[in-house]
Amino acid sequence: MPMDVVIAEHAGACYGVERALKLAASTARETTGPVHTLGPLIHNPLVVDELTQAGVELAENLEDVASGALIVRTHGVVPQVIEDARGRGLNVVDATCPYVKKVHHAAARLIQEGYQLIVVGEAGHPEVEGILGHAGGEAWVVGEPSDLDQIEVAKRMGVVVQTTQTADRLAAIVAALSTRVQELKVVNTICEATSERQRAAAELAERAGCIIVIGGKNSGNTRRLAEICHARCSNTHHIEDANEIDASWFCNVELCGITAGASTPQSHIQRALDRIEELGA
């Protein structure tokens, strides 16, 4: 009996990623000098390699860029970085995801209103670092409810969220925080595209015998998709490249589900489908 292969209802590159890739492509076409991204444009090593082949180089810091165009990654940066880049005479192309910018504005507003700020997210993640920069550095990063034990909680607390976090994690942290403050203002800045992908992946994993999650191993939102799927289907595999797919995964499997992170282009999903067909699964 042939195996059915189903792609999750919501999977692959989101609006912010598609917008950034289009900006990078147009900048490479229209710029006569060098073009760099400040850090990986998105968390997908294959895409970063493809951009390099298209003439968009990767720079880890401003000191590596002497001239030309500088593309700000989808995750955003602290405000000072853009000011410094323009001060160096660089043509700054801001590919920050519009939904990430909403977090920046919410964080700044809560600080201005006098709240002590918590950012629910992954400490050290580029998006979180950018959020902290827009909060003037006056915020705590919390990834789990237990992290609150390390914080001197104020009477008035505000909360924003890294766009790729899960609703369950936010709810758990808010529940733990609500008993310790007099006033709590939560701005749920989880991107709807992230939520849609998580819900669709969970639904598919409930009924699949195998799940393939496509996207960068350095992509937080893709890793969370893999976690959600693995909790429901132990035969879950997180891959970056279609060549990683192994025929042994499909033994006695009637339905294989495919999902992909928000930083995974549709072409990478197609490669996975082609690989499965090639294996005769």
Q: What angle do CA 131, 170, 151 make, to 5 degrees?
A: 65
**Rounded to whole angstroms, how far apart are CA atoms 8 and 199?**
9
The phi, psi pair for 188, rounded to 5°, reads -75, 100
d(CA 134, CA 4): 47
Catalytic residue from among 57, 63, 122, 127 = 127
Per DSSP, the three-state class of 259 is strand
CB 171 within 8 A of CB 150: no
φ, ψ for residue 277, nearest 5 deg: -65, -40
Residue environment code for 242-256, b if the CB has 16+ CB neighbours within 10 A, otherwise e = beebeeebbeebeeb
Active site residue 254: no
Catalytic positions are 127
